[in-house]
């Protein structure tokens, strides 16, 4: 039963992948960095996606923005 629920969550994430690619491209501009950002965001979402019924797009957006901020801070050090 838990595997079915997990498969549904991953399917919802896959449905947002093209939107996430466009967002990542707007956030970082470089194509390779955008691809990396999409992958990192997707990995975080696969592990920690909200299960309480919150909308996925705003949550994914926040994850992506936070990852960009973390990268920026790390590069300034």
pLDDT for 68 equals 96
Per-residue pLDDT of the chain (77 residues), as tens digits, is 566 666 677 677 777 788 999 999 999 989 999 999 999 998 998 888 887 888 889 999 999 999 999 988 888 86
pLDDT for 53 equals 81
Q: Which domains does the chain have, with CATH numbers?
A: 2-76 (1.10.1740.10)
- What string of H, E and C letters represents the secondary structure of the chain? CHHHHHHHHHHHHHHCHHHHHHHHHHHHCCHHHHHHHHHHHHHHHHHHCCCCCCCHHHHHHHHHHHHHHHHHHHHHC
């Amino acid at each position: 039963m838990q595997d079915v629920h997990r498969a549904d969550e991953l399917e919802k994430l896959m449905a947002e992948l093209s939107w996430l690619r466009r967002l990542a491209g707007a956030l970082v501009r470089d194509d390779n960095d955008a691809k990396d950002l999409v992958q990192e965001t997707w990995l975080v979402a696969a592990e920690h996606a909200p299960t309480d019924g919150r909308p996925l797009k705003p949550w994914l957006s926040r994850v992506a923005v936070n990852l960009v901020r973390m990268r920026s801070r790390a590069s300034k050090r």
